[in-house]
Amino acid sequence: MRTPLRLYALGLAAAMVPFVLLSHDLFWLNILIYMYLFAGLAVAWNIIAGFGGQFSLGHGVFFAVGAYMTARLYLNWGITPWLGLIPGALVCAVLGALIFLPTFRLKGSFFAIATLAFNEVGFVFANYLESVTGGPRGLQVPFRAAWSNMIFADPRGYALLMFAFMAVCVAISIALMRSRLGYYLLAVREDEDAARAAGIDVTGVKLRGTALSAALTAIGGGLFAMYVRTIDPPTLFSLPDIGVKFALLALIGGMGTITGPVLGAFLIVPVESYLRAVLGGEWPGTHLIVLGFVMLLAALFMRHGVAGALDSLWRRWRRRT
């Protein structure tokens, strides 16, 4: 909110650096693709959760719906994903508003668990509705490289795609924080009664925030589908890998800030992937043990995430000069 725009432009340019440096290496390129994608997804989650204070663990549903819709539209009717992303986004905007509306009266942990339940229900239905989702086996998108198909022979295309997604999400975040809706989300997060006294339609604001967040998440899901080209319920509805991951990345990076979710993704995704590659073989699960430890330490010693830690360092430095 107070940071000048050119700093963000600088940050975005800096975010490109890993790509420039590592894009020749297929191993790291794959990591970068996930990093950028999840950075965007974490930013999208942060809109309703960090800014709006609605700690959702159900965003996996939007991700999955976006993935399924984009893939289906492409598979069944040959609709280019560039357009096919949109219906998923719109559906999720409405779906998000619908399913979150009754749960908004719940606070804190209750809301979190209720949204978790959505994810679980989604998982069951995704397995069940075979004609729509391909059931437990899911959907496969055959490899037919073409720009119009959003399928790239050169994976660097995907990296740029995900980077663009992240950039769009961040840009929307920035714009939000200079808009009425953004301020209203913050007010709702801080104190609903005070917000009402200030003329804010609390439920309406929550719904709008959810719609935006869900739509962006759905787009991310669609992009995911066109990258991995194999989507199934266990993958899409996995809480540690998808639904809860968004929250984790935003938390560790700094919930409620614009750059926090990006920082979280840039930190955790490479670390996790690297650990998995290095430690994964020997003793099963060791890379996750390390990750779990890192997460625990981060939670205990960086309560406001990386962004918060950086912010307090900055303040301390300014006070000294």
Catalog residues that contact other proteins under the rule CB under 8 A: 1-2, 53, 55, 102-103, 105-110, 112-114, 116-118, 120-121, 124-125, 127-128, 178-180, 183-184, 186-187, 190-191, 193-202, 240, 244, 247-248, 251-252, 255-256, 283-286, 288-289, 291-293, 295-296, 299-300, 303-304
Distance of closest approach, residue 265 Cβ to other proteins, in angstroms? 15
Q: How far is the CB of 321 from other proteins (least distance, A)?
A: 17
Least Cα distance to 273 among 14, 15, 30, 7 occurs for: 30
Q: What percent of the residues of the chain are helix, what percent strand, and what percent coil, each to the nearest 5?
A: 80, 0, 20
CB of 84 to other proteins, least distance (A): 27
Q: Which is nearer to other proteins, 107 or 144 (CB)?
A: 107
Q: What is the number of other CB atoms lying within 10 angstroms of the CB of residue 234?
A: 12
Written as six digits, the tokens of 119 are: 């994810």
**Residue 146, strand partner residues:** 151
Nearer to other proteins, 135 or 157 (CB): 135
**Is residue 107 classed as helix, strand or coil in its secondary structure?**
coil
Residue 143 or 283: the one with the smaller Cβ distance to other proteins is 283
Burial (CB count within 10 angstroms: exposed 0-12, middle 13-18, buried 19+), residue 155: middle
Shortest separation between residue 99's beta carbon and other proteins, angstroms:
9
Provide the token pair at 80.
């280019």
**Closest CB to other proteins among residues 144, 180:** 180
Work out how close the CB of 26 gets to other proteins at its nearest, in angstroms, rounded to a whole number: 27
CB-based contact 224:37 (threshold 8 Å)? yes
Closer to other proteins by Cβ: residue 80 or 120: 120
The nearest distance, CB 17 to other proteins, in angstroms, is 28
Report the interhelical angle of 305-320 vs 260-279 (nearest 10°).
120
The values of phi and psi at residue 190, to 5°, are -70, -45
Beta strand 139-140 with 230-231 is antiparallel
Burial of 316 (C-beta count, 10 Å sphere; 0-12/13-18/19+):
exposed
**What's the min distance (Å) between Cβ of 35 and other proteins?**
19
Instruction: Report phi then psi at 4, rounded to 5.
Output: -65, 150
Nearer to other proteins by Cβ, of 162 and 249: the residue is 249
SS (H, E, C) 57-88: CCHHHHHHHHHHHHHHHHHHHCCCHHHHHHHH
Sign of CA dihedral 79, 82, 88, 89: negative
Nearer to other proteins, 125 or 152 (CB): 125
Q: 165 or 237, CB closer to other proteins?
A: 237
Find the shortest distance in angstroms from Cβ 134 to other proteins: 15
